[in-house]
Amino acid sequence: MSSIKITGLVENYVSKAGLIGEHGFSVLVDAYGKRILFDTGQGKCLENNMRELNVPPDSIDAVVLSHGHYDHTCGLKYIVDLRPEIPVYGHPALWKNKYKKVGSGYIEIGVPDKMLREKVNFVDTRYAVELAKNITVSGQVSKVANRINNKGLLVRNAENKYVPDLFEDEVFLIVESDKGLVIMSGCCHLGLKNVVEYARVLIPNKKIAAYVGGLHLKNETPERIQETGDYIESNIERVYTGHCTGIDAYAELKAKLKGRISYFSTGSILEF
């Protein structure tokens, strides 16, 4: 199999001079002759960081959007303005308005520019899609058997009432390596166990070599963090996380998992 290289383009923290961090997530995946942009951050850092890391926009073959929150999608405009023909993989529900409860009010946290939907070369990922050989976009997770991470995150229903976001739009990327499956998720709102177990449904009989992405554990209970650590210990070789995981939760997981978990920041590079 080909080598796999994953580069952190946007994350909350920065590990190299010249790069910029923001509350957001974007990684570059080089695998099997394809160059894939997985998420695009808030859009304030992507152009600078791609330039600093020598990633020309015309070198990207495809964009995958993990879900419809602003901190994963706002950089899309930069890419699409330069490359209107580039395929953009995502679930159509990512274009819905999304909200967060703040105090007694609500703020919109979805894709700000809904007109982009009409401009992009959109590839529907309601069902699993083979982006290339050994590279799969998961599609909508068909069964969510365990609690999801949607605390205070909402959509509006047909009666225009705020209801919990069940993240039907959340998809993840699976790359097959010599060591097993490498799974990439933006925020893992569906919960780590749900994501990993669905990856096993799509590509059975493979060990999970690595998980890369957020775990959405900020402000979660110690029990929830412990449960996540226990699951990683039994099911995943290595975890590279950041963004919405939260520093406190990361510190707790690091104390438990030691070298099996590492912080993945802007400028981080992984190779498999």
How far does Cα 243 stand from its chain's mean position?
10
Query: Lowest-confidence range among 32-46, 140-154, 257-271?
Result: 140-154
Alpha-carbon span 108 to 111, nearest angstrom = 9
Question: To the nearest whole percent, how much of the chain has pLDDT over 70?
Answer: 99
For residue 209, give the nearest of 268, 128, 270 by alpha carbon.
270
| Mean pLDDT score, 37-56 | 98
The CA-CA-CA angle for residues 162, 167, 171, to 5°, reads: 160
* Average pLDDT in the chain: 95
Report which of residues 2 and 66 the model is more confident about.
66
58 Cβ neighbours under 8 A, 6+ residues apart = 82, 83
Given pLDDT bands bounded at 50, 70 and 90, which one contains residue 39? Answer: very high
pLDDT range class, residue 51, cuts 50, 70, 90: very high
- pLDDT for 229 equals 97
Confidence of residue 2 (pLDDT cuts 50, 70, 90): low
pTM of this structure: 0.97
Chain segment 110-152, per-residue pLDDT in tens: 998 888 888 999 999 999 999 999 999 999 998 777 778 777 8
**Mean pLDDT score, 8-27:** 96
Model confidence band, residue 183 (pLDDT cutoffs 50, 70, 90): very high
Residue 112 neighbours by CB distance under 10 Å: 14
Beta bridge partners of 156: 162
Question: Cβ(14)–Cβ(267) under 8 Å?
Answer: yes
| pLDDT tens readout for residues 56-112 | 999 999 999 999 999 999 999 999 999 999 999 999 999 999 999 999 899 999 998
Give mean pLDDT, residues 218-233: 95
Domains and CATH numbers, the chain: 4-271 (3.60.15.10)
Contact call for residues 135 and 34 (beta carbons, < 8 A): yes
- The percent of residues above 90 in pLDDT, for the chain, comes to 90
Residue 6's pLDDT is 98
Q: Is pLDDT above 70 for 1?
A: no
**Geometric angle at alpha carbon 33, from 131 and 215, rounded to 5°:** 55
